[in-house]
Amino acid sequence: MNHRLVVTGGPGGGKTTLLSALEGRGYRVVPEAARRIIKERLTAGLSPRPDPVSFGQAILSSDIEKYRSAASCDHAVFFDRGVLDALYMLNAVGALKREKIEQYVQQFPYNGVVFLLPPWEEIYVTDSERDQSFEESIEVFEGLKKWYSQWGYEIVEVPRDNVNERVSCILQCIDTPNNSLLADNFSAASRLQN
């Protein structure tokens, strides 16, 4: 079983809160790179983001490093976004050819099930690292949903609910023996070859 599990979605959907709750229950959580990069740039007195290509490449590099650091995991590790999120950004600005994206997808597979958090206007807020509008969050959500599906991942949309219910939804998916969602969780790389 591939124990690397991606939690993704548009900005402001509750990923950080959900992942903090999973971490509080003893699961390993890998934070997203974008917020760290933005925070470092703001601390250095720079604009929040460099140009989209440089930003996407910095995120991709960081995500690859984080992926590799979880190489020997034998239990669930939750990633706040994955390598495919960075590839989505770079694809959107035409910075990578399809062949190169395919290489990355094959080289850095995650569990075949991806947890997607939908946009949720009632909890959406901006801050120093999140300056996108709610409408942009919806666009990112829809784009990521199509993107992960395109690469052979099965999407589980986590319902808008309190954090404990959201955690329970995810844990029910991964802890149920012979769960039909995770039973056939071969990597997207093997799906591309079929």
Q: The pTM is what?
A: 0.86
Rounded CA-CA distance 183/177 in Å is 8
Print the domain residue range for 183. Answer: 4-193
Give me the number of domains the chain comprises: 1
Instruction: Give the whole-angstrom CA distance, residue 120 versus residue 118.
Output: 6
Q: What is the CATH number of the domain that holds 102?
A: 3.40.50.300
Give the tens place of pLDDT for each residue, 53-73. 999 999 999 999 999 998 766
For helices 98-107 and 83-92, angle between their N-to-C axes, nearest 10 degrees: 170
Which residue numbers in the chain have pLDDT < 70? 72-73, 124, 126-130, 176-194
What is the predicted pLDDT for the residue at 101?
98
pLDDT digits (tens, 9 = 90+) for 167-186: 999 999 988 654 545 544 43
Structure token digits, residue 145: 């949903």
